Amino acid sequence: MSFIGDLLKAGINATRNLAIIGGHGNRFGGVGIPVYSAAALAKGDLVFLSGLDSTSLKPAVTVAEADVTDQVATHVLANDIAAGGTGIAYTQGLVTGTAGQVFDTSSFTAVGQKLYLSDTGNTLTCLTETAPGGGDSAIQLVGVLRVKSATVGSVYYNIGGGSVQELGSAQLDTDSVDSDQIAASAVDTAELAASAVETAKINDDAVTSAKVEEGLLQYTDTQLTHTNIGALVGTPITVVAAPGANKAIIVHKYHIVADCAAGAYAEPSAPDDLVLEYADGTDITGIIEATALLVNAGVQVITQGVLDTVVVPDVNAVVRLLNSGGDYTSGNAANTLSIRVWYSVVDTIAFT
């Protein structure tokens, strides 16, 4: 049965079978429990069980609030409770105002309006006809407006039976949901609202290389200065770090942008070409011609895959960029060479 149907059924049952509580126009279903409140509360207030009063030995209640941890509503009050007093709380039923105990529902739009637990945590105003929209807030449908009135308002309540439709982040403890608790395919793209996950919602460094499956395609970016470019013979530049014991780097492709707009380099012993290699000197790529990149003033761009030949990878070794001839001369201090290398990490021992 729908939530509204449950409420109507509760109202019918209350009208047929249950006595009026305390002579104040209320009818309730279910079992009422005696409760204690340190603060003054009003009939119709939504409360949650917050402890036990050591004197009366009755459950203590506090006004519910949608955006506070463990404070969604568990009961509704049948009558006013004075500060330090006791009363009766129910999970479902009809609350109606009287001249003696006013129940103001005039702020709500119309009879039949769905009512939710609000974020305010204030007496009576813990009801709202607009579902809370904050990320911290639970969405808890608690009742339906029966009579709109500043004095003798009336609301059908049904707090049990799955009235919490959505939990906010405030109701979730740290690490309360992790990947081990989410079934495979429990959430797929079709179930995500547009822009549900966007860059602004991902913490800095939330995804790091250590969290990426090492066999996936990865890349690194490195920029060489004018000084680096002029010393590549004796000081090659590492572009991919060593992967660790029993691992090797497999390079798939590279992309280079050489900005020599401020002044071209000269090859003292042409050809003085570049190459990507392992630390043991094994070439990974063919020659990367300096003439195409560095000897012409301006900005030059190239992208190329690696050799289609058998290469025995160097285990746990860096990949570096080397000048295979003589160090370049001329150029300009403003020059740069940017290189992106796409690679994967593979095992160098038996795997299954």
What DSSP assignment string belongs to 276-309? EEETTS-BSS--B-HHHHTSSSSEEEEEEE--SS
Amino acid at residue number 28: F
- Asked if pLDDT for residue 211 goes beyond 50, the answer is yes
Segment 71-93, tens digit of pLDDT: 889 999 888 899 999 999 998 88
Spatial contact of 214 and 344, defined as CB atoms under 8 Å apart: yes
Residues 332 and 226 sit within 8 Å (Cβ to Cβ): yes
* Residue 303 in this model has a pLDDT that exceeds 70: yes
Q: What is the DSSP letter of 104?
A: -
Per the model's pLDDT, the better-predicted residue between 101 and 339 turns out to be 339
Q: Does the pLDDT value for residue 335 go beyond 50? A: yes
Domain with CATH 2.60.120 in the chain: 210-347
Question: How far lies 113's CA from each of 38, 74, 125, 174, in Å?
Answer: 32, 21, 15, 35
The answer to whether 277 and 320 are in contact (CB under 8 A) is yes
Cα 270 to the center of its chain, rounded Å: 55
Whole-number pLDDT of residue 185: 63
Q: And the tokens for 81?
A: 């409770």
Residue 307 has pLDDT above 50, yes or no: yes
Q: Under 8 Å CB-to-CB from 286, ≥6 apart: which residues?
A: 275, 307
Which range has the worst mean pLDDT, 76-85, 115-124, 179-188, 292-301?
A: 179-188
| DSSP one-letter code for 8 | H
Q: How far is CA 6 from the centre of its chain?
A: 34
Higher pLDDT, 103 or 182: 103
pLDDT value for 177: 55
Cβ contact 319:240 at 8 Å: yes
How far is 290 from 274, CA to CA, in rounded Å?
7
Task: Give residue 214's pLDDT.
Answer: 74
- 47 or 132, which is more confident: 47
Distance CA 6, CA 18 (A): 16
Report the mean per-residue pLDDT for the chain.
82
Q: Over 70: is that where the pLDDT of 35 sits?
A: yes
Maximal C-alpha separation, the chain: 106
In angstroms, the CA 104 to CA 6 distance is 24
Tell me the β-bridge partners of 95: 155
138, pLDDT greater than 60: yes
Higher-confidence residue of 80 and 221: namely 221
Q: What element of type H or E holds 133?
A: none
Cα–Cα distance, 164 to 137 (Å, whole number): 11
Domain covering 210-347 in this structure, CATH number: 2.60.120
Distance between CA 172 and CA 61 in Å, rounded?
A: 21
Residue whose C-alpha is closest to residue 32's, from 56, 55, 58, 3? 58
Within 13 A of 58's CA, how many CA atoms are on the CB side?
A: 17
